Structure 1
Amino acid sequence: MAVGPEQERDVLGTRIEASHRLAARADARLTGAIADIFLPDDARLDERTRLALRRVLDGVIAAIEAEIRRHAARILSGRGAADHADQLLNAQATVAGRLTQAGVLRDRLLIDELLSQVRCDLIAERLSPTEATPDQASLLVRLTDVDDGVVAAAARALLSAETRRRAAAEQGGVPGGILPAERHHQLVWWVAAAIRDGLGTGDGLADRAIIEAAQRNLAAHDEGQRPEAAAVRLAAAIDARPHEIGDLLVETLGDRRLLLFIAVLARAVDLDFEAARTIVLEPEGDRLWLALRVAEIDRQTIARIALMLSDADPRRDIEAFADDLDAIVAVPAEGARAALAPLSLHHDMRLALAALARGEAR
């Protein structure tokens, strides 16, 4: 069958477009390969962490996308726009791919939050549980049954929040409310914009429905249900005395409750949860040892905490710690507090200072 001039032009145009797309992909792959080659080893994610981070990021986006699409379609159906609702539900464009292409997912604060969560979960999984006596339950279970109703309620809330997150991870999903309010707010509007962009039209009715669905999602978000927030409330409820902090920190690790360890430490040295989490996750451990000295934790307890964390986090060098232990213990509490003073600044001030520092380094 003969091909006419117009068909030949169409075929040629299609091939040229495909050629341009392939050239762009090849260039992007080369850019990625170059970045990977020169990435320092200590900045490189191990495969398990990278896959877990991608799963959580994609899961959060997918959950928000599904909720916005469903509710927006319901709004459109209720307003007599069934065709628009079907188009919204059956759109082929992937929101995660659109956001990745736009580069917005490279946001430092978003990735920092999700990466910290992933690392906390992986380290907690690897912590070696303390051998309990047959008649003694784990720390968190015991706390749910104490006479102090405030402590018991806070312990039940943390146990429930951690169980939800663990169950979702085991099923390959992500629980709702995983992000702090500011990060969730940002991501919801990115997802809403990508959904709208994927429709390919500027239909006012669909726009209003998507916006209403996004606002509904934001109104329902409760960051207080996050395990991190529950751990902070439990640490405050326990209100450990100075002489109790060392044993409590060890016991939280023995119970594989890393978030509670972080919350107890944060309260003991007057840091917010995010700052304490940052220093606990640092593989070098220098600032963690300083924090433990601020809390006046003794040599034996510091050594025990270091060993427990090193067993759970292969990035840590326990031999280097052993060499430095005498110097760590010799640091006076006030000197350690002065060294950690920048971390005691308000969270937003720390972020602003870090942004200025990155700008000066360019």
Structure 2
Amino acid sequence: MRMSDLTGDMDDGALEGAPTLIAHAAAVDHAARHSLDVSIDDFFVPDEGRLGERTRLALGRLLQALIDTVGGEVVGHAVRLLRAQGEEAKANALGRVDLLDRLRGPGVLCDRALMAELIGRVRQELMAGFMPAQAPEEPDRPSLINRMVQHPDRVLAQAALAVLTAESRRRAVREAGPLSRSDLPAELHHRLVWLIAAALREECLEVAGSQAALDRALAESAQRSLAAHDEGDRLEAAVMRLAAAVDARADELVDLMTESLGGRRVTLFAGLLAHALGIEYPLARDIVLDADGSRLWIALRALAFGREAIARIGVALIEADPRRDVERFADLLDTIMAVDTDAARESLSLLRLPVDFRAAIMDVERRAR
């Protein structure tokens, strides 16, 4: 381009585009201010509340995969229904919607329960992935889960096989691409499906064609996805069934839990802990993943775990989680062992209450302050 091209006369198209440029500049100014607000908020987030880089990246991949998977189910069937009715414009528009951008933009996905589940899932899988496998004391002995699969108790063996099957479906968080299923609890899967259907509807409101036909197609497609979802197939549900089938005695629990971590099966460790304490799996998972560790040490003392077992578990978790400090754990070990078993059990009594009851108690306490 020559300098004369830049300094020549103004054409009519430029005059017509001037208001658009002004509006765009105003929008950019607003976006810049919002970006600054976000940056300031991010700077003041305390370190303990900040997602690590690998967790953030894995969470982004999981969220994208979930939207692609569930959205793909809804869009694919809705497109077929619309094309069967001659609604080509609506069908084509559905396939072009960037669902993640549409849902993330207005903060629709900032759902506490959904994000808690996804963050917990990502962290448990990252922990398992970065946990060094421990060599078995007997090299020729099958792994814990394989011994359970071969167990003569049919209920236990089938429960163990269900865990292996669920593990094979659960894609590693470091991989990309769609999932075989959402693997979400039913309530969260339902919520996500309807959010996706609503987002698709809004994006196609201005497209030519019958809006009623689009609404019917989206509703039918969403209901089809909901009908196909079975939360009992989730890895976490399978692990809880296995823990119930094992129903470990106190003297068996130490070996089972330490060996499950040695085999990098964080979900099984959390499931055994949940069953032993009589709490829900998500809470047990949170206790295991919490870098502070205090709740886990109290829980293990409530189960009468000894010094060696707690030390082995602590070291395994420290090696898998850079947020944990081995020196702090070593300094704390004597204090952990000084906790009386009965006192530990009493301190955990609130955790055994239903999750909604606990939430209500905390809400009332917060309002009373």
TM-score, normalised relative to structure 1 = 0.93
Q: Over the residues paired in the alignment, what is the CA RMSD in angstroms?
A: 2.0
Deviations 1:264-312 (A, max 9, x none): 0111111111111111111111110111111111121111111111111
In structure 1, give the amino acid aligned to 2:254: G
**1:223, 1:144 → 2: CA distance?**
22
Where do residues 144-183 of structure 1 align in structure 2 (5 Å cutoff)?
A: 144-166=149-171, 169-183=174-188
Query: CA 1:152/1:216 → structure 2, altered by over 3 Å: closer, same or farther?
Result: same
State the 1:360 CA deviation.
6.8
TM-score, normalised relative to structure 2 = 0.91
- The alignment partner of 2:69 has SS state of helix
Where do residues 236-315 of structure 1 align in structure 2 (5 Å cutoff)?
A: 236-315=244-323
In structure 2, give the amino acid aligned to 1:141: N
8 A Cα contact 2:156 2:246, kept in partner: yes
8 A Cα contact 1:177 1:225, kept in partner: no
Residue 123 of structure 2 is aligned to residue 119 of structure 1: yes
Which residue of the partner structure matches residue 202 of structure 2?
Answer: 197
Over 6 Å off, 4+ runs: 358-361
Residue 84 of structure 2 is aligned to residue 78 of structure 1: yes
State the 1:324 CA deviation.
2.0
Which residue of the partner structure matches residue 21 of structure 1?
Answer: 27
**2:367, 2:39 → 1: CA distance?**
26
8 A Cα contact 1:168 1:175, kept in partner: no
Which residue of the partner structure matches residue 330 of structure 2?
Answer: 322
State the 1:354 CA deviation.
4.3
In structure 2, give the amino acid aligned to 1:174: L
- Pick which of 301-310 and 352-361 moved more: 352-361
Query: CA 1:166/1:85 → structure 2, altered by over 3 Å: closer, same or farther?
Result: closer
Which residue of the partner structure matches residue 48 of structure 1?
Answer: 54
Query: CA 1:168/1:289 → structure 2, altered by over 3 Å: closer, same or farther?
Result: closer
- Pick which of 53-62 and 72-81 moved more: 72-81
8 A Cα contact 2:58 2:174, kept in partner: no
Deviations 1:212-261 (A, max 9, x none): 11111111111111111111011111111111011111010011110000
Identity of aligned residues (%): 44
Q: Which runs of 5+ in 1 are unaligned?
A: none
State the 1:200 CA deviation.
2.6
Query: CA 1:277/1:149 → structure 2, altered by over 3 Å: closer, same or farther?
Result: same
8 A Cα contact 1:177 1:223, kept in partner: no
8 A Cα contact 1:178 1:226, kept in partner: yes
Residue 239 of structure 2 is aligned to residue 235 of structure 1: no
Q: How many residues align?
A: 357
